[in-house]
Chains A and B, each alone.
Chain A
């Protein structure tokens, strides 16, 4: 117990509190200027916007994948199931260069998309692709166990009462899946906002256009602008706190839901 608290403070709490202390060491004025400069604001918009969109896309396709894995038999199901975790296991830098190679103008996919006027690599669209890759397992892995544990009696009852399959899904299954879906969504979103490794290779990193917030911290650090870097870091940290509390709340809700049955 004592060891747990000591180690936790040493590795996590003290370093993170250093970020807060340092960011306000030059007064709130300096903090505010550094955290809201136009280039930084553009990066917030980009980071939060693309992360939100990526998490939404993962919500839809993650649900479809989890559903297919639990409900349908198809060749290679075990392999697909195992590979869903690939983004957890594959180092982000590797994912970044692989996606860039695929979507660059001469890449396997880029060569077909470019003539259509769709540029993916080195644009915000590329960031979106990388964030979808990173976030997908979060949704699948939170929804899948809930789907597996679901009893078929409720669906049978709905069908015997004359509900269509779609009505059953929308009115019976979806409400039961909701806490898990939202948790997966929030986890994917939190991960996407902080993601760095896979994004920088494909983003192109143009100021005001495709510069994500973590990259802003790095570039401030490289100019030895510690106050600027920590101000942005403090904003991201506060966001992480809020989201973490939300996720914990969602998980508690999810546990209560499943306990009721």
Chain B
């Protein structure tokens, strides 16, 4: 194990009491702030027994929330996947002015508050927004309807794939692409046969994170949703409504569904990291 190497070498090892203290402090912090909240979700969800738990999940409003969450993710993830690949391709394999600025703009949704993101869509498409009158005249509804939720989700998950791919593609350089071009491959052929296979694990990694965020987004979606039960309620919003109505067991039951999703995400992520590591070893 790599970790043992450090402790066998007197120059990089700490005194046992220092090691134990650091481990103790770090792990206590981990248990207190990360593990306990996770355990609490499942324990609260099952507090009133399995019947209440199942009932909360198969109730029509919950099912329609599941459906809307899936729809939003199914639209947002592929859109941002295509964008992420093309943005990373543009940034890593080409030179142009303002590249750094472009990267900064791609990162923007990470540092903008989700609430501000939701608000900006209201300003554009809301009843008093820039396109509000036009939308009303054509009987189109974006805010307080499904399209608004999808848009907010797209905004929030915008950088995930691009962020994962840009450093990966930059590290790989352009040698292989240039070789392919010299051998007579077209731009598309080079992309499908050379660039894409090289980044497939990073791509998958980005998609997994993107999907988790898309299904779990709360702040941005809550601003544009209007929270119409059975219509514009996603799973996280459904959790909030149940919680504010003091239906704690039901709220935690739905929350446990999202927590399970988070755990699946972490397992998948771990698997992809492991496979990516394997792939790197094969090359070396």
Q: Is the CB–CB distance between B112 and A94 below 8 Å?
A: no
Known: A12-B108, A71-B6, A97-B252. A165 touches B120 (CB 8 A): no
With both beta carbons as reference points, the residue of chain A lying nearest to B13 in the complex is identified as A165
Taken together as a complex, chains A and B put the C-alpha atoms of A127 and B101 apart, in Å, by 34
User: How far is it, in angstroms, between the C-alpha of A107 and the C-alpha of B36 when the chains are bound?
Assistant: 11
The answer to whether residues A97 and B105 also contact, given A132-B33, A193-B113 and a CB cut-off of 8 A, is no
| A15 lies within 8 A of B6 (CB) | no
A204 to B218, CA, bound (A): 18
Q: Is the CB of A71 within 8 A of B104?
A: no
Selected contact of B236 from candidates A8, A88, A94, A229, CB within 8 Å: A94
B10 to chain A: which residues have CB within 8 Å? 159
- Measured in the bound complex, the distance between the Cα atoms of B65 and A180 in whole Å is 40
Q: Which of A15, A82, A245 has the most CB of B within 10 A?
A: A15
Interface string of A143-156 (1 = CB under 8 A from B): 00000000010011
Beta-carbon contact of B123 and A196 below 8 Å: no
User: Which one of B52-60, B177-185, B193-201, B264-272 is at the interface?
Assistant: B264-272
Interchain CA distance A133-B1 in the complex, whole Å? 30
Contact status of A94 and B239, CB under 8 A, knowing A61-B29, A196-B114, A237-B112: yes
Chain A residues near B124 (CB-CB < 8 A):
14-15, 18
Asked if A93 meets B239 with Cβ closer than 8 Å, knowing A72-B3, A102-B36, A196-B115, the reply is: yes
Cβ of A236 under 8 Å from chain B: yes
Assess whether B255 is in contact with A88, with CB atoms less than 8 Å apart: no
- One digit per residue, 1 when the CB lies within 8 angstroms of any chain B CB and 0 when it does not, for chain A 12-50 equals 111110110010000000000000000000000000000
Assembly CA distance A193 to B112 (angstroms):
9
Contact B158 A11 (CB under 8 A): yes
Task: Give bound CA distance, A155 to B23, whole Å.
Answer: 21
Whether, in the assembled complex, B283 has its beta carbon less than 8 Å from a beta carbon of chain A, the answer is no
A195–B109 Cα distance when bound, in Å, is 13
Given contact pairs A18-B130, A86-B262, A218-B223, A102 touches B37 in the complex (Cβ within 8 A) = yes
Given contacts A64-B22, A94-B239, contact A3 B123 (CB under 8 A): no
Closest to A189 in B: B111
In the assembled complex, A89 has its CB within 8 A of some CB on chain B: yes
In the complex, the answer to whether A233 meets B119 with C-beta atoms within 8 Å is yes
Closest CB in chain B relative to A9 CB, distance in Å: 9
Docked-complex contact A230 and B15, CB < 8 angstroms: no
Q: Which of B133-160 contact A (CB under 8 A)?
A: 151, 154-155, 158
| Dominant SS among interface residues on chain A | helix
A148 to chain B, nearest CB (A): 8
Q: Does B7 contact A (CB under 8 A)?
A: yes
Contact flag A91-B236 (CB < 8 Å), given A11-B158, A101-B44, A244-B107: yes
Interface of B is mostly: helix
Q: A1-B94, A152-B6 are in contact. Are A16 and B27 (CB under 8 A)?
A: no
Among residues 56 to 80 in chain A, which have CB atoms less than 8 Å away from a CB atom of chain B?
Answer: 61, 64-65, 67-68, 70-74, 77, 80
Contact A243–B26 (Cβ < 8 Å): no
Which residues of chain A from 100 to 135 have a CB within 8 Å of any chain B CB? 101-102, 107-109, 129, 132-133
Q: Are A90 and B38 also in contact (CB < 8 A) when A4-B87, A12-B158 are?
A: yes
A side interface size, CB within 8 A:
86
* Cα–Cα, bound, A139→B35 (Å): 18
Say if the beta carbon of B19 comes within 8 Å of chain A.
Answer: yes
Q: A196 contacts B11, CB within 8 Å?
A: no
Option from B22, B90, B248 in Cβ contact (under 8 Å) with A68: B22
B37 to A133, Cβ gap below 8 A?
Answer: yes
Is there a chain B Cβ closer than 8 Å to A55's Cβ?
Answer: no
State whether the Cβ of B77 lies closer than 8 Å to any Cβ in chain A.
Answer: no
Taking a contact as CB atoms closer than 8 A, the residue among A19, A90, A155 that contacts B259 in the complex is: A90
Chain A residue at minimal CB-CB distance from B100: A248
- Asked if B212 CB lies within 8 Å of chain A CBs, one says yes
Q: Which residues of A contact B (CB under 8 A)?
A: 1, 3-5, 7-8, 11-16, 18-19, 22, 61, 64-65, 67-68, 70-74, 77, 80, 82-95, 97-99, 101-102, 107-109, 129, 132-133, 136, 152, 155-156, 158-160, 165, 190-191, 193-197, 201, 213-215, 217-218, 221, 226, 229-230, 233, 236-237, 240, 243-245, 247-248
Q: Pick the 5 closest A-B CB pairs, nearest first.
A: A194-B113, A91-B216, A197-B218, A196-B219, A15-B120
Residues of chain B touching chain A, judged by Cβ–Cβ distance below 8 Å, are: 1, 3-7, 9-12, 14-15, 18-19, 22-23, 25-27, 29-30, 32-38, 40-41, 44, 83, 86-87, 90, 94, 96, 100, 102-117, 119-124, 128-130, 151, 154-155, 158, 209, 212-213, 215-219, 222-223, 235-237, 239-240, 243, 248, 251-252, 255, 258-259, 261-263, 265-267, 269-270
Q: Can you sample 16 A-B contacts with CB below 8 Å?
A: A4-B102, A8-B105, A18-B129, A64-B29, A82-B270, A85-B266, A86-B266, A90-B259, A191-B111, A195-B219, A197-B114, A214-B114, A214-B115, A221-B119, A229-B119, A230-B119
